[in-house]
Every structure is written in structure tokens, then in C-alpha cells.
Amino acid sequence: QARDDATSAAVSAILDSLEEIQCLTDCTERDRELLQSVFEDDTLHSLLELYDHINSRSLSSSA
Amino acid sequence: MPVRKEDATRALELLEQYHRRLNTTEDAQLRASIERVIKIFKSKLFNALLDIQEFYEVTLIDENKTA
């Protein structure tokens, strides 16, 4: 599904930019670890999949 | 591991800060990706899913509470 792919690509892009995020924000080492653990978390990935699934369903049923 | 709401909130704060500091003309793809995630994290649906997950972790998996 295209929507799921776009969201997981977005999460990968964030994980790839962690160092830059740390440089550009007032983010501590601990914040950086938090971002990494949040975006690498399997549960988060499941929630995002579920989000995309529900969101695309409600869009298609209202169309 | 369950995702804690406070962690998701902090992650959202940091992403918004980063997004503000990104150059508008460069990094269009990256900006779009971050906007997508920010939008999801702010949505009522995603927050409801986080709540359900949290409730599920603390209550439904604990057999003492569901019995």
C-alpha cells in the first residue's frame, strides 16, 4: 500500500537525520536516544500502520 | 515495548523544532516526511490509538485486572 510506504519512508528519513536533528535543535543526547527509541519501536510502527489503515478506509468509504 | 505518550509528545516537540529550522527550498523531501509524521502525531486518531495501546498494556494484559 502506497500510504503505508510513505509513512515508513518518513520514519526512516527521520532516523537517518538524527544527528542533524541533534545539531539543529536544543536536543540533548538523551532526547536523541528518545527519538531513536520512539521511531525504532515496533509498537509505534504497528500504530502507524493501523493509523494509515483506518485513515485510508475512512477516506475511501466517504468518497 | 509500549510507546509512552510523554515520549511521543517530546518526539513531536523535537520534530517541530527541527522542521522550523530546515531551509524551505532545500530538503523538500525531508520536510514533507517530517510534516507527515507531525500531522500523524497531532491527529486525534493517532492519539486515540496511543491511549488504547496504553490501556491495553496496563489493564488487559494484567490478568489480575481482567479476571
Q: Of A47, A54, A55, A57, which to mutate for an interface test with B (greatest number of B Cβ within 10 Å)?
A: A47
Q: What value of ipTM does the predicted structure carry?
A: 0.83
Mapping DSSP onto H, E and C, the string for chain A reads CHHHHHHHHHHHHHHHCHHHHHHHCCCCHHHHHHHHHHHHCHHHHHHHHHHHHHHHHHHHHHC
**Chain A residues with beta carbon closer than 8 angstroms to that of B17:** 24-27
Question: Which pTM does this prediction carry?
Answer: 0.84
**Chain A residues with beta carbon closer than 8 angstroms to that of B36:** 6-7, 10
- pLDDT tens, N- to C-terminus, chain B (67 residues): 678 899 999 999 999 999 998 877 778 999 999 999 999 999 999 999 999 998 887 766 666 665 5
